[in-house]
Amino acid sequence: MTAPLAELAAQLPHLALKTAPADLEYYGRDWTRRWAPTPLAVAMPGTVDEVRGIVRWALLHGIALVPSGGRTGLSGGAVAANGELVVSFERMNRVLGFDPVDRTLTVEPGIALEALQAAAKQHGLIYPVDFAARGSCSIGGNIATNAGGIRVIRYGNTREWIVGLKLVDGRGDLLDLNRGLIKNSSGYDLRHLVIGSEGTLGLVVEASVRLTDPPPPSNVMLFALPAMDALMKVFDVCRRGLTLSAFEFFTDRALHHVLAHGAQRPFEGDSPYYVVTEFDAASEAQQAAALAVFEECAGQGWVDDGVISQSEAQAAALWRLREGITESLAPHKPYKNDISLRISAIPAFMHEMAAIFTREYPQFDVVWFGHIGDGNLHINIVRPPGLDDESFIAQCEHVTHLLGERLQHFGGSISAEHGIGLVKKPHLGSTRSAAEIELMRGIKRVLDPAGILNPGKLFD
């Protein structure tokens, strides 16, 4: 153990400190698997005081800290590849309180999203932000990226549900932000500055989340579509005829991977595009509306085929076709894009990008899917066999540059929900002006004057 680490262990005797090579490897990386993890050690605080102690120690020794939740991130935000101390919140994973009048849960940052959702359910309420990594990701990580997921069209992003945050900033100070208030017009809302800041402004040590009533019973419908142009037309018909909680799409290439990974084929025939939509189906009228939507879309030639779930098991099987995509692609180590557009700009943007991909990547397997109902497209590029990591990434970076140019033209964003981290750092300028980035740097300097909090992520 190095001298500074021995000092940390002596100062905070209850802190769990891990230095075994397998732990450094496990806690030093996220789902990107692109950088070799080389953390100094992994610290697992159990209390807020220990977190403050870690920050003070880091200030004294000039050691960088990488906050760590479930490490399901896809942008390298939780990677420790430069001798940093990983601060894992694995031990700080408790529910601290429930307030039935405020309808809030107060939790520690390391709680898994699924455990938080289960805690809300025990009180007859829901925490509605949801996505496939729910079992492994933590609320602290969700806050760091302002995570979105599959029900944003109904419930919004993580930001909408955080009513209070406690944060240890880069000076070791504890800030208690917004304290559960619904209305608070008293100057800058620092809580919202922290949400989406990717661990660069402070370490979240406690969060209060708002809960809501469970939705009415729902059904899931899967459509097969003959053409890209039909996607937003079907969305329009669904939005007018149904009360939607999700509207997701994927292509035949995504279906190919998810079927190869064990999912069940939904239709006999093949179509180039698919949509999974979830909608309220509490009454016969709402169920009849779903059939009417299908008939209208089929009549217009916008869908080839469709199926409506008849049971929870069937709904789960249809969801699996969409939610299983990331896992089915993971063994191929795809290059990921996670972009955001106004939904009105999607058709024109998709056409332009499809042409660019055909021109630039004729040999690549380009897998489109995502939360098209809220303007968030995931474009994963699967490496062709035989191409080495370096050449593959260089080629992908070139196309991300072209993607950034088109996003700039359409006023979109290079990251919708995964964050910038290390992966999209070179492309931040396609979404944020130089003046904005300079202001962000200035804000970081105030909250983290020594630059010890997740340095090198988001920007340099």
Task: Candidates 29, 166, 191, 378: give the one binding ligand MLT (CB under 6 A).
Answer: 378
**Mask: binding to ligand MLT, 352-371, rule CB under 6 A, as x and -?**
------------------x-
**Mask: binding to ligand MLT, 18-57, rule CB under 6 A, as x and -?**
----------------------------------------
Nearer to ligand MLT, 204 or 372 (CB): 372
Should residue 325 be labelled a site residue for ligand MLT when binding is judged by CB under 6 A?
A: yes
Nearer to ligand MLT, 253 or 378 (CB): 378
C-beta of residue 244 within 8 angstroms of C-beta of residue 154: yes
From the list 48, 75, 45, the residue with the least C-alpha distance to 207 is 48
Q: How far is the CB of 155 from ligand MLT (least distance, A)?
A: 15
Torsion of CA 388, 391, 393, 394, to 10 degrees: 170
| Binding residues among 75-134 for ligand MLT as defined by CB under 6 A | 132
Nearer to ligand MLT, 142 or 208 (CB): 142
Q: How far is the CB of 343 from ligand MLT (least distance, A)?
A: 16
Nearer to ligand MLT, 74 or 87 (CB): 74
Q: How many residues bind ligand MLT (CB under 6 A)?
A: 9
Q: Is 434 exposed, middle or buried (0-12, 13-18, 19+ CB in 10 A)?
A: exposed
Nearer to ligand MLT, 104 or 328 (CB): 328
Nearer to ligand MLT, 166 or 418 (CB): 418
Nearer to ligand MLT, 378 or 406 (CB): 378
From the list 144, 184, 142, the residue with the least C-alpha distance to 163 is 184
Q: Which residue is nearest to ligand MLT (CB)?
A: 326
Q: How far is the CB of 146 from ligand MLT (least distance, A)?
A: 13
First to last CA, the chain: 30
Task: Candidates 74, 190, 275, 396: give the one binding ligand MLT (CB under 6 A).
Answer: 74
Q: How far is the CB of 258 from ligand MLT (least distance, A)?
A: 11
Q: How far is the CB of 33 from ligand MLT (least distance, A)?
A: 13
Cα(353)–Cα(403) distance, rounded to whole angstroms?
7
**Mask: binding to ligand MLT, 333-352, rule CB under 6 A, as x and -?**
---x-x--------------
Q: How far is the CB of 254 from ligand MLT (least distance, A)?
A: 10
Q: In what order do the strands lie in the sheet with 218-225?
A: 305-308, 218-225, 273-280, 244-251, 365-371, 376-382, 335-340
Q: How far is the CB of 455 from ligand MLT (least distance, A)?
A: 25
How many Cβ atoms sit within 10 Å of the Cβ of residue 53? 19
Nearer to ligand MLT, 108 or 323 (CB): 323
Q: How far is the CB of 324 from ligand MLT (least distance, A)?
A: 9
Q: How far is the CB of 378 from ligand MLT (least distance, A)?
A: 4
Q: How far is the CB of 403 from ligand MLT (least distance, A)?
A: 14
Q: How far is the CB of 393 from ligand MLT (least distance, A)?
A: 16
Task: Candidates 326, 395, 430, 431: give the one binding ligand MLT (CB under 6 A).
Answer: 326
| Binding residues among 127-166 for ligand MLT as defined by CB under 6 A | 132
Nearer to ligand MLT, 208 or 326 (CB): 326
Task: Candidates 32, 106, 277, 380: give the one binding ligand MLT (CB under 6 A).
Answer: 380
Q: How far is the CB of 35 from ligand MLT (least distance, A)?
A: 18
Nearer to ligand MLT, 294 or 357 (CB): 357
Nearer to ligand MLT, 208 or 340 (CB): 340
Residue ranges binding ligand MLT (CB under 6 A): 74, 132, 325-326, 336, 338, 370, 378, 380
